[in-house]
Structure 1
Amino acid sequence: MKIQKKKIVLIEDDVALGNSILELLLLSNFDVVWFEESRVALHYLTQNIPDLVISDLMMPDMNGEELYLNIRKNKKFNVVPFVIITANVDDEVKLRQLEHGVNDYIMKPFKVKELIFKVNNVLEFRRNIEKNFGNDPFSKVTIKLSEKDFLTSLNELLLKDMKSKPDLDELSRKLFISKSTLDKRIRKLTGKNISQYIREFKIQYAMKLINLGERNIQFLVDQTGFRSFSYFSTSFKLYLNMTPRDYIKSIQASNFEL
């Protein structure tokens, strides 16, 4: 059976750089559509949903940040990774993009391996999300337990409100069961109480963000809804037997060896 190529939309107004990136991605067996103008790309994206968008940050007319915010208005893009290419090393600019939800950065100048590794990482991240949580885990969830697995339904709800402290009464209501039944079913299926299950679910999400390249631990704390930096670090170490910083170092060492 023929494997379908992953579709990437590239937006880069520098012709020389755009040609180089296009060639690298094509050689890596991706299906690529390249645009030099962001507004033309935006029009294309209103009618086509790729597997990944890679965009330069600094562009005339509409920059990468504006493009990202525009396409995110369409909920179909909730699970489409967006990677920024930039020479801007301003932490404030980078953090603002991450706060918006941009998945990763590729800093100019970059190495060929870095580009391909990051592209593969974010696509693998998306594949795992779809595998574990469904094709659109961030969309409005309508639960029908007769049609969907209980844990999958629970995971969708937790993922949707990842940044918030879970309201167990609200979770129970959306799953059409009582709070005591919710805890009993989780214990029966996983051997964990509801608090432990939710805490470890959030830690697993943080680990995926780290694997995608995120290195700011406070950002991970905020994204996963932990009430404090120390509680996040303690929970992370309890789950993985290493601190977030040590886990980040292990990932960096692994990437360096590659």
Structure 2
Amino acid sequence: MITAPFKIVLIEDDLNLGASVVELLFLNNFEVSWLKNGVEALDYLQNNIPDIIISDLMMPLMNGEELFLKIRKIKKFNTIPFIIITANSNDEVRYRQLKNGVNDYIMKPFKVKEMIFKINNILALKKQIENKFTPDPFSKVTIKLSEKDFILSINAILSKGMKSTMDINEIANSLHFSRSTLDKKIRKRTNKNISQYIREFKLDYAIKLINLGERNIQFLVDETGFNSFSYFSTSFKNYVGQSPTDYIKAL
């Protein structure tokens, strides 16, 4: 059974990091609401209950520690997992967060797979405890997106199946097009055929992972659903002009 995407609230005042994390979480099938500081987050949370909260520690107006202590006093947030992310390596600071009841702690700079693994583990445990099952609105979302914006609907489908080999016929069927019609629509809007568009969509994701700190090329291959290491490397070099290894070394 397909389930609805988990809802994540991200509180991060670094605009570049926040934008990257939001996109990467979305590409891992999470629904993300991004707030820039604890005050904004506290206001947002009055009317919204996420599945998990991820907050930077050091922020203006209200830091992550203050936010955590405030929301834990609100009954409806007692069971919402809370992860702190920070560049502060002071052991006492980290121990204090954990003692306060924070569920986990991620040090900057962090690798995307570390964050994703920790989020998935915490949410899996939360789901087991609550035995919480909700209907999946994804098909309705896809339909609405396809009516509003063809490219957005394609991107939503590609994001959801990022780690798998994309079946173009299945993509076309999900949008109620023939394969040839889908290819014509993609060519008209992007000047690329559907295969090229899918391949470059995956490569753009790999580049975002690298720019956020990922250095394991095999992990990039697995995360983007390429059939082989060599095909990924060749495609990457043709697209970027450098091999994945050279691109990483140049950062």
Q: How far apart are residue 78 of structure 1 and its match? A: 1.2
- Which runs of structure 2 are paired with 1:129-168 in the superposition (5 Å)? 129-131=129-131
SS in 2 for 1:53: strand
Indicate conservation of the 8 Å contact 1:46/1:71, yes or no.
no
Indicate conservation of the 8 Å contact 1:11/1:34, yes or no.
yes
The Cα offsets for residues 113-135 of structure 1, whole Å up to 9 and x where unpaired, read as 1111011011112112223xx99
- Which runs of structure 2 are paired with 1:165-180 in the superposition (5 Å)? none
Aligned AA for 1:12? E
SS in 1 for 2:95: helix
Indicate conservation of the 8 Å contact 2:22/2:32, yes or no.
yes
1:128 alignment partner in structure 2:
128
Name structure 2 gaps, 5 residues minimum.
134-251
Q: How far apart are residue 84 of structure 1 and its match? A: 0.3
Q: Distance in 1 between matches of 2:37 and 2:112?
A: 24
1:57 alignment partner in structure 2:
57
Runs of 4+ with deviation above 4 angstroms: none
Aligned AA for 1:18? G
Q: Distance in 1 between matches of 2:103 and 2:113?
A: 18
Are 2:107 and 1:107 equivalent residues in the alignment?
Answer: yes
1:4 alignment partner in structure 2:
4
Q: Distance in 2 between matches of 1:118 and 1:48?
A: 22
Aligned AA for 1:17? L
SS in 2 for 1:127: helix
Indicate conservation of the 8 Å contact 2:55/2:85, yes or no.
yes
SS in 1 for 2:126: helix
Q: Distance in 1 between matches of 2:47 and 2:66?
A: 18
Indicate conservation of the 8 Å contact 2:50/2:80, yes or no.
yes
SS in 2 for 1:4: coil
The Cα offsets for residues 123-181 of structure 1, whole Å up to 9 and x where unpaired, read as 112112223xx99xxxxxxxxxxxxxxxxxxxxxxxxxxxxxxxxxxxxxxxxxxxxxx
91-100 or 5-14, which deviates more? 91-100
Flag the structure with more relative contact order, 1 or 2, with Cα contacts below 8 A and sequence separation at least 6: 2
Q: TM-score, normalised by structure 2?
A: 0.51
Are 2:48 and 1:84 equivalent residues in the alignment?
Answer: no
Q: How far apart are residue 68 of structure 1 and its match? A: 0.5
1:21 alignment partner in structure 2:
21
Name structure 1 gaps, 5 residues minimum.
136-258
SS in 2 for 1:85: strand
Aligned length: 133
Aligned AA for 1:100? N
Q: How far apart are residue 2 of structure 1 and its match? A: 4.8
SS in 1 for 2:70: helix
Indicate conservation of the 8 Å contact 2:85/2:105, yes or no.
yes
